[in-house]
Structures are given as structure tokens and as C-alpha cells.
Amino acid sequence: MGRTILLCDMNSFFASVHQAINPALRGKPVVVGGDPAKRTGIVIAASIEAKRPFGIKTGMAIAEARALCPQAIFVSPSYRDYAAFSSRINNILKDFSDLVEPYSIDESFVDVTGTLHLFGTPLEVAQQIQSRINHEIGVGVNIGIGPSKLVAKMAAELEKPNKIISLSLEDWPKVIWPLPVKELFGVGSRIGRWLNMIGVCTIGELARLPVEQLRKRYGVMGEILHFSAHGIDFSPVNPGSLEVIKSVGNQITLPRDYRGYSQTQVVILELAEEVAQRARKAGYIGRRVTLTLKDPNFITEAHSMVLPEYTDITQEIYEAGILLMKKYWDPQVIVRLVGLTLSELIKGRGKQMDLFARREKLERIDRATDLIRSRWGHNSIKRAISMTQLGVYYERKG
């Protein structure tokens, strides 16, 4: 029996959440963006009223968006609200099937194959989901229906907003093949460039390309591309796909350029605290630390090192970050963005103890900090240096 998969894609999610929370914003052009004073002044999301008539797009500079639509209402992002809305939406989806896979904050796959006898035809299920999300959450949703995740995903992109689109494999060549090859899910900019270079411009042309040619160039991925172009996808809807974390990382754009080791190390410490705490929360320890620095010319450089032991200790991650900075960057380095990542993660808390119990002491400090923050909030305890003008992270986290 064939599968029935739905892809629920929220329309202009971030902006819609602000409109749902504040009814005064409904029907008006709303732009969610950063703060130009903190050099994060780009459009993160725009409502349908701002996108269509004024041409405001995600990633555009705030100043540019303001010029295009002076009457737009600019709001700051509120990630806590987005996460709250996303959870509520996923809980609605779970009423229709236990196979719900959150794909991103505003997209989820639902496999309703086994529950169709309870709720009706795929179209009826989609209508019920759409109606509940519209009325209970207050945001618009596009729902793609297909026999696989790929077909459902491609269907949901065909027409917006607040539409239900059903696509079958029989209709795939007629509807999908004329589209540009870059619109096929899984084709990134690099593959897209190569395909264009060899004269493949549409998905149909990709489907007709010999699979051997793709396999020779991209190996397994080449074969997957061939199947995808034909609408074939065997990927399961896996509700636990987010349970495995591969890395924990954070990065921050600085409000002004930082110069030299002494200034940058404050930000590395703040990031190390955040990264280590997130790893501890999820119950992971890792041993590869990667430091990323971006200079004022937007040139990004990243270096990593493997620690002798797996860790989730703030101090050890911080020290690794400092080691990397001193090894690979100039003492007079000018920095616009700092990123720190802990990877090669494993589950568990078993750690190698050291002879002088330094690790135990550091662990106790981290544990105490976690417990204080758990009760009093993230900003209740800070490093003294974060209170100086060099500290940025806590201020931004609010």
C-alpha cells in the first residue's frame, strides 16, 4: 500500500506569530528584523502583506526594506514565542498521527497512512489540520500531500499562501519537470551550477540524464538525485530524528569590531558557557571544538581541535577556543563574528577524572551555575567580565 505523507509549512511563520499575538498587526505589512545598531540589521521574515506588494525578501537589509515600504511595522524577533507556537502546532499534528517529524521550526512531515480510516481522505485530513491551525494558532499553513516526503515537500511549494496541494507520481512529470533544476529539493547551489554547466536546466532534463553520469560525479548522492528527479523517495517519517544531536554551537555578530586576543576571548568565554550548558542540558559530551572568526571583510575562517577527553565543562571548551585563537590567528586580529562549536558528541556523563580533581571542581561550578539559572533565569549569574563593555552575549540574550 502506498504511503500518504503531508508536509505542513507555515506561511511567513515569524511574522505570522507576531500578527497572531498582536491583533493590531493583522493585515498590515510586518517585517521581523535585527537591530542595525548591533549590526544584525537584516530582514529575518516578512508578512505576506509586506512580501507581495512591496517586494521585501528575507535577508534584505533593514534600511533597504524601509525604503521599499516606509509604512511597514518593524518588530524584533522573539524566538521563545516562535518555539512556543511551533510546539503547539506539532501537538495539533500529533492528534492526527504519531508519526510527526519536525523538519524545521515552521515545517513538519506527518505520515497519515495508518490513520486515514479515522479521519477520512488525505484531503479531508489536510483540511482538518489547516482549519485547526488557522483557528487555534492563528497562522496560515500550506499543506502538500504526496506519496513520499519529497513529493509532499515539492507540492507544498507550488502555490501559497494557505493552500492544500495534492500531487501524485502520475502528475509529477507534468507539474514538476518544467521547473528549474535548482527548485528540486536536495539540489544546492554547487550541484545546481554544475548541472547548468552541462546544460541541465530543468528537473525534467535531470530526470533524463543517465544515472551513471550522476553517480560518477556525486556517488550515492548522484543516484539519489536521479531518483528525486523522478519523484522517488523512500525516506521514512521519523519522529525521533531530532533526538540525535551531532553538534552544539553558537555564533554571535559583535556590535562593533573587536581587536586582539584580550577582547575576543571575552566573547569566546560567553559562547563556551552557552555551548557547554546546552550540551549538559541535552546530556551530551563532545571532544572536537571549532572556533570560527569572521573579519570585517566578511572572510570566515574556522579551525578545530580534538580534546584529549570528552567534555561538557565550560572552562575546558573555553580553553580549547583560546588555544585555537592563539594558534591560528594573529594577535591583532580584527573580529566581526565569533562562533564556537562542540562536536563529535556522545551521550553520557562518564568522564575521565584527573589526578588533582580539577575537573571535579569545574564540574561542581558548572552544576551550581546550571541549578541557579534553572531557578532564577539565564541572566541570574554572570561572569564578572560579561558585565564590562566587552560582554555582548548576555545583553543580547536579554
Helix (H, G, I), strand (E, B) or coil at 229: helix
Q: Does residue 282 touch another protein according to CB under 8 A?
A: yes
Using CB under 8 A, pick the residue from 224, 252, 269, 272 that binds another protein: 224
Using CB under 8 A, pick the residue from 22, 76, 131, 235 that binds another protein: 235
Q: Does residue 194 touch another protein according to CB under 8 A?
A: no
C-alpha cell at 227: 531518483
Instruction: Pick the piece of the chain touching another protein (CB under 8 A) from 121-129, 224-232, 294-302, 306-314.
Output: 224-232
Q: Which of 91, 126, 89 is nearest to 4 (CA)?
A: 126
Least Å distance between CB 146 and another protein? 14
Determine contact, residues 201/226, Cβ cutoff 8 Å: no
Integer Cα distance of 3 and 345 in angstroms: 34
Using CB under 8 A, pick the residue from 38, 230, 278, 383 that binds another protein: 278
What amino acid occupies position 173? P
Q: What is the DSSP letter of 10?
A: E
- Pair type for strands 30-33 and 100-104: unpaired
Active centre residues (catalytic): 107
Using CB under 8 A, pick the residue from 22, 87, 131, 196 that binds another protein: 87
Q: Find the binding residues for another protein in span 326-385 (CB under 8 A).
A: 367, 370-371, 374-377
Give 91's contacts (C-beta < 8 A, 6+ positions apart). none
Least Å distance between CB 239 and another protein? 9
Determine contact, residues 14/50, Cβ cutoff 8 Å: no
Beta bridge mates, 337: 253, 294
Q: Does residue 259 touch another protein according to CB under 8 A?
A: no
Q: Does residue 105 touch another protein according to CB under 8 A?
A: yes
Beta bridge mates, 110: 6, 100
Q: Which is nearer to another protein, 258 or 310 (CB)?
A: 310
Least Å distance between CB 94 and another protein? 7
Q: Does residue 34 touch another protein according to CB under 8 A?
A: no
Q: Does residue 283 touch another protein according to CB under 8 A?
A: yes
Integer Cα distance of 391 and 266 in angstroms: 6
Q: Find the binding residues for another protein in span 144-183 (CB under 8 A).
A: 149-150
Q: Which is nearer to another protein, 84 or 302 (CB)?
A: 84
What amino acid occupies position 397? K
Integer Cα distance of 149 and 155 in angstroms: 10
Q: Which is nearer to another protein, 166 or 341 (CB)?
A: 341
Using CB under 8 A, pick the residue from 35, 81, 171, 205 that binds another protein: 81
Using CB under 8 A, pick the residue from 22, 76, 104, 196 that binds another protein: 104
Least Å distance between CB 70 and another protein? 30
Integer Cα distance of 268 and 289 in angstroms: 12
Q: Does residue 197 touch another protein according to CB under 8 A?
A: no
What are the start-end ranges of the E strands in 37-172?
A: 43-46, 73-75, 100-104, 107-111, 141-146, 164-166
- Please state, in angstroms and as integers, the Cα–Cα distance from residue 158 to each residue in 58, 151, 163, 179, following that order: 19, 11, 9, 10
* Contact residues for another protein, defined by CB under 8 A: 79-88, 90-91, 94, 101-105, 149-150, 185-186, 220, 223-224, 227-228, 233-236, 238, 241-243, 245, 248, 250, 278, 280-283, 367, 370-371, 374-377
